[in-house]
Amino acid sequence: MKKILLIEDDSFLIDIYTTKLKEAGFSVEVASDGETAFEKLEEKKPDLVILDIVLPQINGWEVLRKIKSIPKLNDLKIIILSNLGQKEEVARGMNLGVAKYLIKAHYTPSEVVKEIKEII
């Protein structure tokens, strides 16, 4: 079973995505902030990370930068799932090596799961 780490601070979205991902056969861990995300990444490397950019304490850009600076996590597949949809934001994410940059408003949870399946 493929393991996904969902880094998201909105409890409503956590519920929706956790349910959809589990229905699709994935194991899901959740971190609602950057600190918790790194604790979970230390425990066990997931197959994929779904990362929101707007997070409490450490924002998603800092989380992404830190993940990319850790050699054992450097090849980790990351999808940004954010409401920040400006061209500069998307380009920044792609330049930092994410597999996909999905804008929340443009994708239903089912479509997000479909994108994940294509990447894993």
pLDDT in tens, 39-49: 999 888 999 99
Residue 95 token pair: 């330049």
pLDDT in tens, 6-29: 999 999 999 999 999 999 999 999
Structural domain spans, the chain: 3-119
pLDDT in tens, 23-60: 999 999 999 999 999 999 988 899 999 999 999 989 99
Q: Do 27 and 1 contact (CB within 8 A), yes or no?
A: yes
CATH number of 3-119: 3.40.50.2300
